[in-house]
Amino acid sequence: MMYIPQTSGYRLLCGCKQSMHLPHYDFADLWVRANRNVPKAAAFTYVALFSFGIMTSWLFHP
Answer yes or no: are the C-beta atoms of 14 and 24 closer than 8 Å: yes
Q: How far is CA 9 from CA 5, 6, 12, 16, 43, in A?
A: 9, 10, 10, 22, 36
Looking at residue 56, its pLDDT comes to 97
- pLDDT tens sequence across 12-58: 777 777 777 778 888 888 888 899 999 999 999 999 999 999 999 99
Would you state the pLDDT for residue 5? 76
Q: Among residues 23, 44, 49, which one has the least CA distance to residue 34?
A: 44
Helix (H) or strand (E) holding 33: helix 28-36
Q: What is the pLDDT of residue 53?
A: 97
The yes-or-no verdict on residue 1 having pLDDT over 80 is no
